[in-house]
Structure 1
């Protein structure tokens, strides 16, 4: 993601944040959007799946055309994920999970850490998906709200339960039937996520940061604060700090939280908004 240091949040940016907080499938509630109970949803698509959906350019499909299954002759899976969202060995060069999968199935995984931000990644693949073209990816890991959007648009291939005999039964009950993908027909959870405050105490000369208020109001932190560009995380934390329930916020609550972040940007307290490249 291109990192930016805005002088202010422009009206279009504010509108985009508002849409982001309330978008997704119509059936999604604010609670399900903000709780992020199953953070990364593993969506199937890309090679062979999305390329064969027959999606009209810039259009939306209700079901799509089933893609041809190439799995018998193509023994490679192209997998896009976020940075540091998979296990590594002591050398930092190999992924034990993927190597074990290859040994058991004979299928090679071409693994790429090229997802930095949900909206940024969606902007990257949307033109191809809207045109019914191959994205070059078979599996992608997205936060649940964006996985829901791709499913709703008909841009994801339905999973074959016969090829996943134990996947559903191995899921904890709370992850089996999200309202945006009942029965896990198109997706499976990859990892859970938590939104937290992290800081280097030594670098801050002993300053303790215990709340969003500390980040936004402590003058000693001016220009040293970073927020996530994922507004469900940043806005959720800000609303909580203001004593509001992120699952039941009002329009006035939302506007007040935006104004609070805007003030911090204007006075230079927030240095930048960043995607997963903060790692």
Structure 2
């Protein structure tokens, strides 16, 4: 089993940066109008493309290092893929690519995977191109309906989910001696000093607002500040052990924390290493998110990139990828492919709700709208004081 420390968990406190902080870094975000986003496509004459992704986010054959699903694409289409694991942090990557995109330069890549809260900024700034749906028949047929209309891109005109996940709660049931069913259960007296929350505001806030009954797809500033005020009280009473990035997994594994905000993408590995670890979608709801494929402005091989996107929406290919990375698969039809596997371990993944959520679990999943540029400075100021980052 692959160690899948979540891409979102790598963000950590760096998620506190955003468009509001960019001028201080000497980067002035600039909107690019539609007529300046494309260049003549070289796909017909140049059978290649450059794909930027996160580490450990694609299937790799043990020993050889081959990436089978990419090789299948090249064999089927003749298109060579230069695959680069050069995205380590959403803000860091944004800072690297934003001067080029803002000034209309060549991005040096044709396809990239960006977390949804950051993807919203690329779309709002006009830094990604509209997708040609004629090149995406498998996406049209097989995309999970629950992921098809995010607030930042309601028609999925600029983005297609690569993989998805849930922000919920992980806890050590044996150490706690009882179940956790809601986020409010984290505030019980016997968990004082034994709970961690995410340091990144974009990562932490959705679950906290859901716990207070907010509709996170249309939350208000009052909803956000109310949730932060509650956390401030918990900080003041020393109920919160600390705010974390991806190191929440080590706190939970070592016993330093008994319960925490967590990502479903980490939970399968955590439970494999310690069967006492449970992951729960709270009764009042968990946050459903995705990390999406997008084509940056002035990409040289747009059609080739769209063909690669559609390749991964074939159920057989989606199943192969899901079996390796073990995040929520954006292609529900891949479940039947895995269920039919002759390998018992692979077939069992079809019944894993953190890869293919049950209907009951889906009913409790909610997608959070993006924090707007106008809201972000005020939210960050308060959250920074609360979380101490």
TM-score by length of 2: 0.47
SS, match of residue 196 in structure 1:
strand
Instruction: Work out whether residues 90 and 118 of structure 2, in 8 Å CA contact, stay in contact via their aligned partners in 1.
Output: yes
* Cα distance change on mapping 1:142 and 1:255 into 2, 3 Å: same
| 1:213 equivalent in alignment to 2:184 | yes
Deviations 1:108-131 (A, max 9, x none): 333344445544433332222112
Displacement after TM superposition at 1:100 (Å): 1.3
In structure 2, the partner of 1:227 is 198
Match of 1:194 among 142, 148, 166: 166
- Aligned residue in 1 for 2:58: 86
Structure 1, 93-102 or 162-171: larger mean CA deviation: 162-171
What secondary structure, in the 3-state scheme, does the structure 1 residue paired with 2:167 have?
coil
Higher helix share: 2
Report what 2:243 is aligned to.
272
Structure 1 residues 61 and 3 mapped into 2: Cα distance closer, same or farther (>3 Å)? closer
Conserved 8 A contact 1:81-1:115: yes
Q: In structure 2, what is the Cα distance between the partners aligned to 1:191 and 1:129?
A: 25
Mapped contact 1:115–1:121 kept (Cα < 8 A): yes
| Partner residue, 2:103 | 131
Query: Contact 2:192–2:239 (CA<8 Å) still a contact in 1?
Result: no
Gaps of 5+ in 1: 6-12, 20-56
Candidates 33, 36, 49, aligned match of 1:62? 33
Distance 2:124 2:42 in 1: 24
Whole-angstrom CA distance in 2 between matches of 1:147 and 1:190: 12
1:136–1:216 distance in 2 versus 1, CA, 3 Å: farther
Q: Are the aligned partners of 2:12 and 2:198 in contact in 1 as well (CA < 8 Å)?
A: no
- 5+ long unaligned stretches in structure 2: 1-9, 21-27, 250-265, 267-389
Aligned residues: 230
TM-score normalised to structure 1 length: 0.63
CA contact (8 A) 2:12 2:199 kept: no
Q: How many angstroms does 1:201 deviate by?
A: 4.5
